[in-house]
Amino acid sequence: MSAAGPPQSARPPLGGGREATSEGAHWRARSLAAVWHPCTQMKAHETLPLVPIARGGGAWLYDFDGRRYLDGISSWWVNLFGHANPRINAAIASQLATLEHALLAGCTHAPVVELSERLAALAPPGLGHAFYGSDGASATEIALKMSFHYWHNRGRPDKRGFVSLEGSYHGETLGALAVTDVPLFRATYAPLLMENAVVPCPDARGATGGRRPADVAIDAAAALEAHLDRHHATTAALIVEPLVQGASGMVMYDAEYLRRARALCTRYGVHLIADEIMTGFGRTGTMFACEAAGIAPDFICMSKGITGGYLPLSCVLSTDDVFAAFYADDVARGFLHSHSYTGNALACRAALAVLDIFRDEDVIASNAAKAARWAALAAPLAAHPRVRHLRQAGMIVAFDVATDRPDFARRFFAAALERELLLRPIDRTVYFMPPYIVDDAEFAALVEGATAILDRE
């Protein structure tokens, strides 16, 4: 096939199988011709039309043809307080009038300083130094490189390996993918990746036969202990998604694992990296999921909700000890990683507006009450004959579906759109993770719609 792309006869019909009779179809066709969409087999859009979004408002997205869709997944887990949020809009507009961006090498500005101070105050104790990137995968790369470089600067260059959990997902750049254990994303690129260790996941679904989720966590921690006992001399860090492993199907586990992992990392001289890219900013019930275990990692990675779903931004907070290992006269001992848009002023101002909303509206307390109501609304799903393992962590509700259909996720997605719901299952796991502003009636609509789809499928 030539570099020009597939031959005209192989390209999807206009509108992904529909005639271009509307403005939505017009944009759909142009997108299929020009845009390579993420996490997508593009050929699927020959039969599954794209949804061209014209605008957003609150928890809803609106297409060009007058239909609306309840954003039940926060547009890939990023939106916290609704689309076109007035407070975040105003903050960005105000920042536009003074500074849109300035390089952060040799310069600084008020939004990045203020954000760094406020994140350090909110994060677990001891994490006081902020390094910025543009997205979750870049945050993972930063943390991995910092950990390796720390040990190098401390005279321990053999500590270069990493450990992650079965089913982990930490991003799709090469370093992040090396500590990811989702075959769909990793398998093709395996020859390019550094080798790292995988230890058992404390998946609470393994709590059967009278065992508790904490028992599963204790067993998984014992396996981690055995690994570190053998390999701590060559291990730089353990990286975990605290409490919930998102991309492997909203796998939830008991906080006891985090407590034991922290103690083991301290005992064996291994860094603990908390990937809070999805779990941070209130998703699991506390501002950061690590709080549920009362532990402080050596690095905490954050992105997604940090700007309320507005602008790309990520941050890695590290400890004084980590920072000190790079502080020297020798330039090569410094952390020379960089992104052109590091600490972008507009993104930082959006993030500050998000933190203002958390503070002024007591969001964490409000979410706790709302999560309890969501649990009651979702409870009837547990009795559905096709539902398995209904579970919840704060503002995330998920369940597995008993089905043999390999195309279940695609069919469910399409059926949800027919009901004006944006839901995107992960394999056979359906989850609800809407913006925090969703009211009880809207959440009930997600549950009722999912139930109706399961009844039909």
Amino acid residing at 370? K
3-class SS letters over 94-120: HHHCCCCCCCCCCCCCHHHHHHHHHHH
pLDDT, tens only, 404-426: 999 999 999 999 999 999 999 99
What are the domain boundaries of the chain? 88-360, 364-421+446-457
Cα separation, 378 vs 434, whole angstroms: 14
In this prediction, residues 196-205 reach a mean pLDDT of 98
- Whole-prediction pTM value? 0.94
DSSP-derived pairing of the beta strands 299-302 and 271-275: parallel
- CA dist 259 and 276 (Å) reads 16
The average confidence (pLDDT) of the chain is 94
| Contact between residue 140 and residue 239 where contact means Cβ atoms under 8 Å apart | yes
Helix (H) or strand (E) holding 144: helix 136-153
Instruction: Tell the CATH topology of 88-360.
Output: Aspartate Aminotransferase; domain 2 (3.40.640)
pLDDT confidence band for 17 (50 / 70 / 90): very low
Confidence at residue 8, expressed as pLDDT on a 0 to 100 scale: 38
pLDDT in tens, 312-352: 999 999 999 999 999 999 999 999 999 999 999 999 999 99
